[in-house]
A = this chain, B = another copy of it.
Amino acid sequence: MKVVCIGSGNVATHFALALKKSNAEILQVYSRHQEHAKVLADQLGAMAIADIALIVPDADLYLIAIKDDAIASICSTLKDIKGLVVHTSGATPMSVLEGMSCYGVLYPLQTFSHSRALDFSHVPLCVEAGSELMLQQVKELAERLSPLVYDVDSIQRKVLHLSAVFACNFVNHMYAIGADILEAAGLDFELLKPLIMETAAKVQHAEPNSVQTGPAIRGDEQTMNRHKELLADRPELVAIYETLSNSIKKTL
């Protein structure tokens, strides 16, 4: 399988490395910035390009992993391509690819960072395609990378992406606030790390609502008031504390 990788950020990098590992040949890496393309291309033995017109027309797969709002315009330059074109975006509908002859979506429900190697076999891949035949191709591709392959249409993918904002982005922000509060008191974030891992581990085998703990679910107003006093000089954190505590109380 010959691949052109369009994009060179976190998602592009993790996909391209996983594809190479599955014995695909990465021909080219495109980025608007030649030097960005080169960093990834060098890891893959691929050619770095910064001019979209240089993209070869005869690859088997064109993997698009760039900013959501750039996907449509990139596609308009790929008109004469026969290979499979997939984007990897949670928030972008498949319809942006409709000008292609063979297309689909391969959305990885995972958070990627430059500094962490990721085992793709634990990444759920959500697939959608323009026809049954195209879907077969996208699934074959997905199954090269992960055993966790799910049929997810564009509307469901939007919902998944939204749920991931809560379960990943907002969660990370809660970690950041925890770290911030500790730092202001001269305490080490290290102390919170085992609790963070255990909190995530608990919901692997239980419904989150069934394992909710803390003062809000106990209705422990005294502790909640003490906490808000501690945050007295951080009104924005008091607002978050109240909003989330009230939301937890409503789950009772």
Contacts and interface: CB of A to CB of B under 8 A. Distances in A.
Contact of A240 (B187, B206, B244): B244
B204 A197 contact: yes
A149 to B, nearest CB: 11
A230 B163 CA distance: 11
Nearest to A220: B68
Contacts of A164: 178, 192, 195
A201 interface: yes
Nearest to A222: B69
A73 interface: no
A213 B244 contact: no
Contacts of A207: 176, 179, 189
A115 B214 CA distance: 17
B118 A168 contact: no
A115 B206 contact: yes
Which of A111, A113, A181, A230 has its CB near the most chain B CB atoms (within 10 A)? A111
Interface stretch (A24-32, A97-105, A154-162): A154-162
Contacts of A171: 171, 174-175, 196, 199-200
A163 B220 CA distance: 16
Contacts of A155: 185
B111 A173 contact: no
B168 A110 contact: no
Contacts of A152: 187
A169 interface: yes
Given A166-B178, A168-B195, A240 B248 contact: no
A110 B163 contact: no
Contacts of A189: 207
Contacts of A168: 195-196, 199, 213-214
A165 interface: yes
